[in-house]
């Protein structure tokens, strides 16, 4: 039986401590030069990972960040916890009523900003498979994944950009938020289906079973589950210790949801994400409680996950310029065109429509999580993973300045 020995504990705690301290410093450095916080954390991972530190000091790197053994298992456990909690926090920010309140413009934008990038991304893989690297038996799963990767946005990043531009509560801001909510919700449902498809393409009964389980769980949690949470939250926030009570209960249900979806053949992220929506959409969840959960997850667990991104692959040896350019071109053109078209059809001016397109083009953390999970299950290779990370970072960096240009 594998267990953490005395020497393993020293390595484990040293690694965690160093990563948290340096991640905070790199995140603050990123903020100083107007970069997304996540970019600073990933840059630290690239520096400490096999790309730089692992190449210069391979023995020291393998000692503190081993590829196998008890320490590796413990680190994997931490990153799995982190990604589940990150999806829970993403779910907390999804407020479904916002989409309906914004009228036809938001509905048009939500639909076209999701369906056009998804269809074009799917078609690129389906009709031009030579541009990508995948096994023939996984063509459907790969095409669905790539379509999803082209379509998703990054709601937390977009929210921050809109706040920085002082347009969060304007008509344009609310349309962008509504569309981002729809894109993220649809994207994660499709990606959960893709993960469930792995290894069972062609088994129609399994495919329909998976679709049924995803829809059944989602509808149950967003109708019955949300009703029960609405009844339960006031008691939790008044009778239990503050803020420890609400933090413990919320994260407890997050893990139970993750465990349930994992047990029925779906990925744990779906349970955490849907559970986050059910809690976040409740009128009884105090804004202060939401912020405490957000701060706890994004400042303690999220940095460990994003630094670990840099440990997954060598970003120099796996940098494929043609693939990076293809991914960047498809991601930006499909998303900007799709979102701008919906905005224009909904009554916005051309400049406003383009601003909406550039706003929804920010991918950030959600794209990186998507790519990381796909790499973990063997759906994509290291070159595609590197291309997706670069695309996520670049789109997040240019989104704000381009929005500002078209709105001024």
pLDDT for 203 = 44
pLDDT for 271 = 85
pLDDT for 99 = 63
Q: Which part of the chain has CATH 1.20.1530.20?
A: 85-407
* Predicted confidence (pLDDT) per residue in 335-365, tens digit: 999 999 988 888 888 888 898 899 888 887 7
- The secondary structure element, H or E, covering residue 305 is helix 302-312
pLDDT for 205 = 46
Q: How far apart are CA 90 and CA 186, in angstroms?
A: 13
pLDDT for 80 = 85
The matching CATH number, chosen from 3.40.50.300, 1.20.1530.20, 1.10.3720.10, 3.20.20.140, for 85-407 is 1.20.1530.20
Q: How far apart are CA 331 and CA 317, in angstroms?
A: 23
- pLDDT less than 50: residues of the chain: 200-205
Query: Half-sphere exposure (CA, 13 Å, Cβ side) for 344?
Result: 12
Q: What is the pTM of this model?
A: 0.79
Local structure of residue 138 (DSSP, 8 states): G
């Amino acid at each position: 039986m594998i267990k953490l020995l005395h020497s393993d504990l020293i390595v484990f705690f040293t690694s965690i401590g160093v990563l948290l301290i340096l991640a905070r410093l790199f995140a603050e450095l990123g903020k100083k030069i107007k970069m997304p916080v996540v970019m600073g954390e990933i840059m630290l991972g690239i520096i400490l990972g096999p790309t730089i530190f692992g190449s210069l000091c391979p023995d020291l790197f393998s000692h503190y960040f081993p590829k196998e053994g008890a320490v590796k298992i413990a680190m994997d456990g931490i990153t799995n916890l982190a990604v589940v909690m990150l999806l829970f926090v993403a779910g907390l920010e999804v407020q479904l009523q916002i989409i309906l309140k914004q009228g036809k413009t938001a509905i048009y934008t939500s639909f076209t900003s999701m369906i056009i990038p998804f269809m074009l991304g799917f078609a690129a893989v389906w009709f031009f498979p030579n541009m990508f690297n995948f096994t023939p038996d996984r063509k459907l799963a790969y095409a669905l994944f790539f379509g999803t990767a082209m379509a998703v946005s990054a709601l937390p990043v977009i929210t921050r950009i809109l706040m920085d531009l002082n347009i969060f509560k304007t008509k344009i801001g609310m349309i962008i938020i509504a569309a981002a909510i729809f894109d993220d919700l649809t994207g994660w449902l499709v990606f959960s289906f893709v993960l469930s498809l792995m290894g069972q393409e062609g088994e129609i009964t399994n495919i329909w079973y998976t679709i049924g389980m995803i829809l059944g769980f989602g509808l149950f949690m967003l109708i019955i589950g949300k009703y029960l949470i609405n009844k339960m939250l006031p008691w939790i926030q008044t009778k239990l210790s503050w803020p420890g009570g609400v933090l413990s209960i919320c994260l407890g249900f997050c893990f139970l949801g993750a465990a349930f979806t994992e047990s029925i053949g779906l990925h744990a992220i779906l349970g955490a994400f849907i559970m986050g929506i059910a809690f976040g959409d409740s009128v009884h969840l105090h804004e202060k409680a939401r912020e405490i959960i957000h701060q706890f997850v994004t400042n303690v667990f999220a940095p460990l996950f994003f630094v670990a991104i840099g440990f997954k692959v060598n970003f120099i040896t796996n940098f494929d310029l043609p693939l990076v350019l293809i991914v960047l071109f498809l991601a930006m053109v499909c998303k900007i065109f799709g979102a701008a078209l919906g905005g224009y059809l909904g009554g916005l001016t051309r400049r406003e429509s383009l601003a909406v397109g550039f706003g929804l083009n920010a991918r950030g953390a959600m794209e990186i999580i998507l790519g990381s999970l796909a790499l973990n299950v063997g759906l994509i290779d290291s070159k595609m993973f590197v291309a997706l990370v670069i695309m996520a970072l670049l789109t997040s960096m240019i989104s704000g300045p381009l929005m500002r240009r078209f709105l001024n």
